[in-house]
Amino acid sequence: MRAQPKVEPFRVGIARMSESSAATVGMAIERFARDQFAIVSSKLAQVLIVDADRIIGRETLQGLSAEHPGIPLVVLSSSEIQTDNGLVLKKPVSIQGVLEAVRNIRARAAVAADPAPTQPIDSGAGKIEDAGQPTPAARAPEQARKPAAVEHATPARKPRISREDDCCGDAEDILVQGRPDKFDRARTHFDDRSGLLGAFRAAVDHGRVHGKAVTVTGLSDALYVDAGTAGQPARVITRLDDGALRAACAPDAGTTLQFYTIAAVPQSSKDWRRIGLESMLWNLSLWSSQGRLPNAIDAHARVRLTRWPNFTRCAVTPQALRIAALWVTRFLTPIEVAKVLGVPQRYVLALCAAADAAGLLERQAIAAAESADTLAPAALPAAPAPTRGLFRRILGKLLHAR
Amino acid sequence: MRAKRNHHKIVFTGPVGAGKTTAIASISDIEPVRTDASASDMTIKRKNNTTVAMDYGMLRLPGGEKVMLYGTPGQERFDFMWEILTEGGIGLVLLLDNTRVQPLQDMRFFLDAFRDFVARTQVVIGITHSDEKATPSLSEYHSALRAHGIERPVPIFEADARSFDDVSLLVRSLLHSLDPGLEDADA
Ligand SMILES: Nc1nc2c(ncn2[C@@H]2O[C@H](COP(=O)(O)OP(=O)(O)OP(=O)(O)O)[C@@H](O)[C@H]2O)c(=O)[nH]1
Ligand SMILES: [Mg+2]
């Protein structure tokens, strides 16, 4: 390989991002592009990666931009938004997509600094794909290598606001009530027996059968499941944070996972985080689902939640409290829930997948389902409760109080 | 009976040390206040002159509206004043300390004490101190509720009273349970 002059790393800042997402981006840069990019504080950054879904209250994307004049943004968003100062990536984003966008911005910056570059843009140590062919700034982003992920820069609109980190993918509603599925199941279903979720479940079963602790290997750090005792239910013991676990659930995580029993969870892990099995299964399924149903669940069959999920200890997706409040009271198909509440199907499918893995989903008995088949789901009362305005104000207060 | 306009309340209850004062402090806009018999009409003197103390905090809503957060005193024997506390209340947050000897028994005691209020409104249950003792599990609480004749689904979460997120989630789920049609304020 031809020796290249050492290039200063491009300085990347991270703003309005959950701790776990920020850690994931940091880890990815460390792993895939450490000699190209350096994470720095927002004030020193040459590009800012921003989670638009966490821009809340009065704050806007333009406001954030104004705080950092001249600094381009890579905006991650679950809704269709636009910015005139950078690139928007629609969630779910892959880490490679984020790195690609940062490279793209760097290429533009290089072009702006030197309109007729004679050298190719640095592509790191050679293991990183380069940013495409930098041409003068007028180049249409559609020509970028992943046109679906990188959208054209046009004037900004106000982003839709969502407090909870949206783990529900970005699929449009495609399931139709009462009609057999005609579309590609890959868009509505996922294989919950494979990947980290599948391996984890198998590991837990294996530990149960043998009455022993198990360890799952192949992740970036250790993960144990202790067997539990009468007074102490089985738990996961790990140093991995949610960002790392979520990344390991991605279909392209590329990890080979194995598990085996161990005599006991090592003493050295006594200060590591502990996660209840229900929460762990809930989260792994949610992150694997990306707004799709497990293969074994039929979008046209009525199910219900056997009880409220432990929402303080598992990931809360948008509208999850409403969906749960309804679905603990009656059997409904996922499509019906989305329709009755007027929420995107992907929110319901994701929650359904999580509840199924956590063991909180109950299928309606066939006989009951048949007799109920023709009945429309009991809709919510047409007239809103008189307290609704007050309740909305309290919710708004609690969601924006931090 | 209706609450005074622009003056609503949510009641926090549970046994001694469950985290009522702490939970109220976690989400209140004011420093929680402890009132005693001589300072408030909400307090009552027993014939033996025991002073009943009670906590309150407040959520200030836009436009001057207020939601009072009342914490019942931990001592179980003052139950007769709880009915007064609940008048016009939005709902009940019951905190149970998992390290106590019989937390399921505590749950039944408080649900009985607030039976009418819970029947009119809704209850959510926060299991505190579960970091110190993991059992009873949530499933056991849910089963015990059903065995106690409460068929209506009740949100029960592990909750650390010191955590804003946990206490706020308890209150949010109380509101969503009361009105599943209620949209998330962010939607
Ligand atoms: N470890 C742990 N401590 C908690 C938790 N919740 C509350 N605490 C602590 O428990 C202690 C008791 O909390 P309080 O808020 O005083 O309880 P209370 O219900 O108001 O008690 P009384 O007024 O005596 O009835 C405080 O030190 C809290 O910080 C929890 O989930 N875990
Ligand atoms: Mg107290």
Residues A318-329: tens digit of each pLDDT: 899 999 999 999
CB of A401 within 8 Å of a chain B CB? The answer is yes
- Distance from residue A384's CA to the centre of ligand 2 (Å): 36
Cβ pairs bridging A and B (under 8 Å) = 136
B88 — phi, psi (to 5°)?
Answer: 75, 10
pLDDT of A63 > 90? The answer is: no
Task: Give domain limits for chain A.
Answer: 10-149, 189-291, 298-402
Which residue has the CA at smallest separation from atom 14 of ligand 1? B19
Q: In terms of Cα–Cα distance, which of A123, A146, A122, A120 is closest to A133?
A: A120
Which residue has the CA at smallest separation from atom 13 of ligand 1? B19
Alpha-carbon span A381 to A401, nearest angstrom: 30
* DSSP element (H, E) containing B75: none
Q: In terms of Cα–Cα distance, which of A183, A94, A174 is closest to A346?
A: A174
Q: What percent of chain A has pLDDT over 90?
A: 37
Pairing of strands B123-128, B156-158: parallel
pLDDT, tens digit, 9 for 90 and up, residues A228-282: 887 788 899 999 999 899 999 988 777 789 899 999 899 999 899 999 999 999 9
Work out the angle between the directed axes of helices A320-327 and A345-357 (0-180°, nearest 10). Answer: 70
Tokens 């504080």, residue?
A: A41
Q: Tokens in use for A153?
A: 């820069």
Where is average pLDDT lowest: A103-117, A338-352, B130-144? Answer: A103-117
Question: How close, in Å, is residue B52 to chain A by CA atoms?
Answer: 29
Q: Which of residues 254-313 of A touch B (CB under 8 A)?
A: 276, 278, 307-308, 310-313
- Per-residue pLDDT, averaged over B64-70, amounts to 92
Which residue has the CA at smallest separation from atom 9 of ligand 1? B19
**Per-chain residues with Cβ under 5 A from ion ligand 2:** B 20-21
Do the Cβ atoms of A252 and A94 come closer than 8 Å?
A: yes
pLDDT of A162 > 50? The answer is: no
CB of A183 within 8 Å of a chain B CB? The answer is no
pLDDT of A59 > 80? The answer is: no
Class level of CATH domain B9-178: alpha beta
Interface contact flag, A322 B182, Cβ < 8 Å: yes
Interface contact flag, B154 A308, Cβ < 8 Å: yes
CB of A7 within 8 Å of a chain B CB? The answer is no
Q: In terms of Cα–Cα distance, which of B117, B176, B116 is closest to A385?
A: B176
Spell out a b/e string for B114-141, using b for 16 or more CB atoms within 10 Å of the CB, else e. Answer: beebbeebbbbbbbbbbeeebebbbeeb
3-state secondary structure of A328: coil
Ligand 1 near B106 CB (within 6 A) = no
Do the Cβ atoms of B3 and B9 come closer than 8 Å?
A: yes
Tokens 């009609």, residue?
A: A179
Alpha-carbon span B91 to B155, nearest angstrom: 12
pLDDT of B178 > 70? The answer is: yes
* DSSP element (H, E) containing A13: strand A10-15
Q: How far is CA A156 from its chain centroid?
A: 24
Ligand 1 near B21 CB (within 6 A) = yes
User: Is A234 exposed, middle or buried (CB count within 10 Å of its CB: 0-12, 13-18, 19+)?
Assistant: middle
Do the Cβ atoms of A302 and A369 come closer than 8 Å?
A: yes
Ligand nearest the Cα of residue B95 is: 1
Report chain B's terminal Cα–Cα distance, integer Å: 32
State ipTM. 0.88
Ligand 1 near B98 CB (within 6 A) = no
Q: Which CATH superfamily is domain A10-149 in?
A: Response regulator (3.40.50.2300)
Q: How far is CA A380 from its chain centroid?
A: 30
pLDDT of A147 > 80? The answer is: no
- Distance from residue B153's CA to the centre of ligand 2 (Å): 28
Alpha-carbon span A335 to A197, nearest angstrom: 24
Pairing of strands B33-35, A293-294: unpaired
pLDDT of A128 > 50? The answer is: no
Interface contact flag, B185 A396, Cβ < 8 Å: yes
CB of A394 within 8 Å of a chain B CB? The answer is yes
Interface contact flag, A395 B182, Cβ < 8 Å: yes
Amino acid at A111: V
- Per-residue pLDDT, averaged over A27-43, amounts to 76
Do the Cβ atoms of A267 and A45 come closer than 8 Å?
A: no
Do the Cβ atoms of A85 and A105 come closer than 8 Å?
A: no
Task: Give domain limits for chain B.
Answer: 9-178
Q: In terms of Cα–Cα distance, which of A326, A215, A230 is closest to A262?
A: A215
Using 50, 70 and 90 to split pLDDT, how confident is the model at A400?
confident
pLDDT of B123 > 90? The answer is: yes
Alpha-carbon span B182 to A325, nearest angstrom: 10
Interface contact flag, B27 A391, Cβ < 8 Å: no
- Per-residue pLDDT, averaged over B75-79, amounts to 56
Residue A93, pLDDT score: 74
pLDDT of B165 > 70? The answer is: yes
Q: Searching chain B, which residue's CA lies closest to the CA of residue A228?
A: B134
Alpha-carbon span B171 to B176, nearest angstrom: 9
Ligand 1 near B158 CB (within 6 A) = no
Ligand 1 near B20 CB (within 6 A) = yes
HSE value, Cβ hemisphere, 13 Å, CA-based, for A312: 27
Interface contact flag, A232 B134, Cβ < 8 Å: yes
Interface contact flag, A394 B173, Cβ < 8 Å: no
Q: In terms of Cα–Cα distance, which of A76, A120, A131, A122 is closest to A98?
A: A76
